[in-house]
């Protein structure tokens, strides 16, 4: 019995050391996402005008859609970048929860990514009722009401799925898209188009970038101890 | 004069039919506003008794969904009372059972609507929409059968309607029902407009539905209300909807001409056929307007309501024509 315990302890210790060594050697994948061409102009979300609770939060201009979040230099935000085809290695159960807020009758952020099992805390910062309707293709669908000032709701998803839709049917212009991965190697590009995927073990991978409207692009990369860099350029046809 | 006519019963049946028609309109608004799931629970609403939901929650999509539930409850109540009334007071046995059928159908319809919410199954919305159309025809038929005109004309001399004309209108009516099923399938895809232009489709007579083409359509679309991306199936379905619409229009135009030729221009059924043609013309204009307004909720809902009226007109025409023909055959020769 003692021998067994010793064996297991040694095995766990070895795995821990190997993981620690790998992490020490792990590098970051960085890059920038660009957009070529002129995307369709974003539109005012005019249905907000029909809802007194929501329009009161926009005394001057109505908010606009955010399908193509691109800056003056052509850097594209809200692109989900991830390693494709890597073995399942989710650390979602112990990862920090992520926040999805409902503010100004809009979801914030509109594009996000989590791991399987990772908690998504949905908050209602608005003075009105919302329903949180998840519309997955791989995971179970759910639909819950959240009153103004109501307790936060927690969602987790067990299966990987790209662009899983969160929708409010009370305010049907409100939606967010959450990509779910069964590993921690993903990022969402920021307003400057930049992304960083941290602590990727050295090796050869396929890196994929996915934009909800523009589709996906792949690149074969090699991550070394000092990381790797890969840019993507999407084009509006 | 027939003593079987009961004015109160007739007007109650009319009330039920009008409420049902308005309910279809309200149901249309629910789907047009993508509000069907805005109240996630049923038969409660946000955990409240449905009839006690505080008015501060009647906002946005929940306004349409909740008022739809309330009006549906009212129609359920009216239909139950009507079925009991027919059972107790109408002398015609078949009317008793027609009342029971209406009661069962309204119960089924209510449960389907509730299950669509509780089970979160959009496909149930298609059946819910289809049964609504059948129920409207039934509710209006009950009003027709309890009317003074229907009851008194039982003993009047009638002119038969030629079989060919009756068959033609029956088949066009069946085609309208099929069209309504196609329309319900389109609406319950929750994908918005699969084709944004009319009379062409993506600038062509028949649009390209290759994967690359559909991807480029989706790139350009603005799903203001979170609509799902469109698919080649949805593009094809809208094209079929357009083709069937043209076929129905031609079928109704032919029906109107045939009715005038066979029955004479002054015959009520010939006039009704021209009213039908007017409805179909309006319906095609509304269909085009639905596209040109990017599926504005009120326009799309009017399209649903006029579609229901088109089915109703064809159905009632068939009922009256069948009865006239039966009475003409059984009335004694002069």
DSSP B4-42: T--HHHHHHHHHHHHHHHHHHHHHHHHHHTT-TTSS--S
B225 touches chain A (CB under 8 A): yes
**Which chain A residues are Cβ-neighbours of B215 within 8 angstroms?**
215
Whether this prediction's pTM lies above 0.90 is answered by no
Tell me the HSE value of A66 on the side-chain side, using a 13 A CA sphere: 19
User: Which positions in chain A touch B54 (Cβ < 8 Å)?
Assistant: none
The predicted-structure confidence for B148-170, as pLDDT tens digits, reads as follows 999 998 888 889 999 999 999 99
Supply the pLDDT for residue B190.
79
B47 contact partners, CB below 8 Å, separation of at least 6: A145, B41
> Considering chain B, what is the average pLDDT of its residues?
94
Q: Span B63-90, mean pLDDT?
A: 98
Comparing CB atoms, the residue among A131, A175, A215 nearest residue B40 is: A131
Give me the percent of chain B exceeding a pLDDT of 90: 87
Domains of chain A by range and CATH?
A: 1-86+185-237 (2.60.40.10), 92-184 (2.60.40.420)
Low-confidence ranges of chain A (pLDDT < 50): 21
**According to the model, what pLDDT value does residue A16 have?**
54
What is the H or E stretch that residue A122 is in?
A: strand A120-124
Residues 33-62 of B with CB under 8 A from A: 33-41, 46-47, 57, 59-62
In whole angstroms, give the CA distance from residue B297 to residue B34. Answer: 9
User: Among the listed ranges A9-18, A89-98, B51-60, B239-248, which one has the minimum average pLDDT value?
Assistant: A9-18
Rg over alpha carbons for chain A, rounded to the nearest Å, is 21
CA–CA distance, B17 with A60 (Å, rounded to integer):
45
Q: Which of B61, B220, B224 comes nearest A40 by C-beta?
A: B220
| pLDDT tens digits, one per residue of B191-224 | 778 999 999 999 999 999 999 999 889 888 877 7
If you compute the radius of gyration of chain B from its CA atoms, what whole number of angstroms results? Answer: 22
At B37, the pLDDT band (50, 70, 90 cuts) reads very high
Query: Which of the residue ranges A68-72, B127-131, B227-231 would you say has the lowest mean pLDDT?
Result: B227-231
Distance in Å, alpha carbon of A97 to nearest chain B alpha carbon? 25
A155 burial type by CB count under 10 A (0-12 exposed, 13-18 middle, 19+ buried): buried
> Chain B contact for A171, CB < 8 A?
yes
pLDDT, residue B49, reads 97
Q: Which residues contact B307 (CB under 8 A, 6 or more apart)?
A: B176, B179, B180, B183, B283
Is A43 near chain B, with CB under 8 Å? yes
pLDDT on residue B122:
85
With an 8 Å Cβ cutoff, are A171 and B39 in contact? no
A residues 68-127 near B, CB within 8 Å? Answer: none
């Amino acid at each position: 019995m003692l021998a067994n315990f010793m064996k297991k302890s040694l095995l766990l210790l070895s795995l821990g050391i190997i993981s620690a060594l790998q992490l020490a050697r792990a590098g970051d994948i960085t890059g920038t996402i660009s957009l070529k061409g002129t995307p369709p102009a974003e539109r005012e979300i005019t249905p907000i005008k029909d809802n007194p609770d929501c329009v009161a939060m926009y005394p001057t201009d109505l908010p606009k859609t955010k399908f193509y979040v691109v800056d003056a230099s052509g850097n594209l935000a809200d692109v989900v970048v991830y390693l494709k085809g890597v073995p399942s290695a989710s650390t979602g159960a112990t990862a920090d929860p992520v926040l999805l807020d409902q503010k100004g009758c809009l979801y914030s952020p509109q594009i996000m990514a989590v791991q399987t099992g990772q908690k998504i805390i949905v908050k209602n910062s608005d003075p009105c009722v919302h329903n949180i309707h998840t519309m997955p293709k791989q995971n179970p669908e759910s639909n819950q009401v959240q009153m103004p000032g109501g307790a936060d709701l927690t969602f987790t998803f067990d299966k990987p799925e790209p662009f899983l839709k969160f929708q409010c049917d009370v305010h049907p212009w409100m939606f967010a898209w959450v990509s779910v991965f069964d590993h921690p190697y993903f990022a969402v590009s920021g307003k400057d188009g930049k992304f960083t995927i941290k602590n990727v073990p050295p090796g050869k991978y396929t890196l994929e970038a996915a934009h909800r409207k523009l589709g996906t692009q792949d690149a074969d990369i090699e991550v070394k101890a000092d990381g790797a860099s890969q840019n993507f350029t999407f084009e509006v046809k | 004069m027939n003593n079987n006519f009961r004015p109160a019963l007739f007007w109650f049946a009319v009330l039920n039919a009008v409420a049902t028609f308005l309910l279809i309109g309200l149901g249309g608004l629910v789907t047009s506003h993508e509000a069907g799931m805005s109240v996630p629970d049923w038969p409660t609403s946000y955990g409240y008794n449905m009839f006690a939901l505080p008015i501060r929650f009647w906002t946005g999509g929940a306004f349409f969904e909740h008022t739809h539930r309330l009006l549906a409850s009212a129609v359920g109540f009216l239909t139950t009372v009507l079925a009991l009334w027919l059972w107790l007071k109408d002398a015609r046995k078949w009317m008793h059972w027609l009342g029971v059928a209406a009661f069962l159908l309204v119960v089924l319809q209510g449960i389907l609507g509730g299950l669509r919410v509780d089970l979160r199954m959009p496909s149930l919305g298609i059946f819910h929409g289809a049964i609504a159309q059948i129920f409207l025809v039934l509710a209006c038929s009950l009003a027709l059968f309890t009317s003074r005109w229907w009851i008194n004309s039982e003993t009047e001399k009638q002119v038969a309607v030629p079989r060919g004309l009756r068959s033609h209108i029956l088949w066009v009516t069946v085609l309208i029902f099929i069209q309504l099923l196609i329309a319900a399938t389109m609406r319950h895809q929750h994908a918005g407009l699969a084709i944004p232009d009319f009379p062409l489709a993506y600038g062509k007579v028949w649009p390209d539905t290759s994967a690359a083409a559909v991807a480029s359509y989706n790139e350009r679309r603005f799903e203001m209300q979170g609509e799902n991306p469109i698919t080649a199936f949805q593009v094809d379905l809208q094209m079929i909807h357009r083709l069937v619409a043209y076929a129905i229009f031609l079928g109704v135009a032919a029906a109107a001409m045939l009715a005038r030729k066979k029955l004479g221009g002054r015959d009520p059924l010939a006039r009704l056929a021209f009213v039908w043609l007017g409805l179909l013309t309006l319906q095609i204009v509304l269909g085009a307007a639905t596209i040109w307004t990017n599926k504005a909720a009120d326009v799309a809902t009017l399209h649903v309501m006029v579609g229901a009226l088109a089915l109703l007109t064809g159905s009632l025409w068939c009922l009256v024509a069948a009865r006239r023909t039966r009475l003409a055959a059984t009335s004694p020769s002069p």
